[in-house]
Amino acid sequence: MLVKKTSGTYLFVLVTIALLAGPASAFEQYSQNKDTTNCRECHGDFRAASYTGPNGMNWGVNLHDLHRSTMLSDDCNTCHTGSSRFPVLLASSNGGTGFAKIGCTGCHGRSQDSGSVGLRQHHYRNGVTVCEDCHGDANPANFAPVAENLPPQYYFTPDGAHPNKPTNPCNVPAGSENFAGPATALDNDGDNLYDGNDPDCATTPTPTATATQVTPTSTPTATATATGTLGPATASPTGTASATTTPTGSPTATGTSFACAGDCDEDKKVAINELIVGVNIALGSAGLNDCPSFDTSGNTKVDINELVKAVNNALNSCPKS
């Protein structure tokens, strides 16, 4: 139940979310209530003991455990958001070890396409056009995805935390991208050509994605020589690099700063599902860890003004930083 003194503002936020959603029926999450809705309507029960795909093929494995244990070494935060593990959002997650907080799109999308364009076009070419309700790029006539041999963001190497994950979008060697089920792997660029049958996979070696790895680091130790005057940097002829620097001004305060309220997955925009997360945090039904960017004031909670900021960011885009 909404708090009485703020119910009008919460209602405003919820109505705005509804208006943003509009009549579109494209999907933010795998299913609505662990039932045969959204992706699950065609793709079935991800957690079934023996998964059956949309074409009726029985894979003989639990697809959830295949992802969690085999590919991701039990790093559940790679795909899940919050502590309840449901809903499973398609483009947002807590972010696993070294992974950006982009959920399913980490393996089923490419950064150069700003998401899962290839996946959407694969559906479109096979008669499933619901993605076009929200994404004009689902229609191949409107957008050309990058080539098949460009890897999704989570495919970077090396990755000691997930040594068995897929890394080659052309499925080389065979079986390195399709762990079970069909003999062919993913159609990353949505042209219905798979693996070696896609001309993109016959060209140059597949580039290795490295930019999206998020590696926790400790405070680096640096050695520098401070002088009282500003001068040009000089290089030492020995094997040890040195630098001349002039300490000026006050030390920079450290802390967490979020440029865009409500941008849970740090993709520079605020989606409807992220606004819902913010409302749930404000109501106490979700924790701040589910989306810390709502707390722009740093008071460890989500206030009404912060929800309004997030709504404005959803309507007008994130401020440029």
> Which range (78-92, 235-249, 250-264) has the least confidence?
235-249
Residue 242 has pLDDT above 70, yes or no: no
Q: Rounded mean pLDDT of 100-128? A: 92
pLDDT at site 19: 52
Q: What 3-state class would DSSP assign to 127?
A: coil
pLDDT at site 254: 38
User: Which residue's entry shows tokens 């060697």?
Assistant: 173
User: Which residue's entry shows tokens 């930083």?
Assistant: 321
Residue 224 structure tokens: 């520098």
Q: Higher-confidence residue: 112 or 203? A: 112
Q: Higher-confidence residue: 113 or 214? A: 113
Residue 157 structure tokens: 């190497």
Measured CA to CA, the distance from residue 221 to residue 233 in angstroms comes to: 20
The model's pLDDT over 84-109, given as tens digits with 9 standing for 90+, comes to 889 999 999 999 999 999 999 999 99
Averaged pLDDT of the chain = 79
> Which range (114-118, 238-242, 279-283) has the least confidence?
238-242
* Residue pair 194/122 in contact by the 8 Å Cβ criterion: no
Amino acid at 236: S
The model's pLDDT over 11-41, given as tens digits with 9 standing for 90+, comes to 666 656 555 544 445 688 999 999 999 999 9
User: Which residue's entry shows tokens 């002829």?
Assistant: 237
Q: Rounded mean pLDDT of 138-157? A: 94
Residues near 190 by Cβ (< 8 Å), separated by ≥ 6? Answer: 117, 118, 119, 120, 121, 122, 123, 124, 125, 140, 145
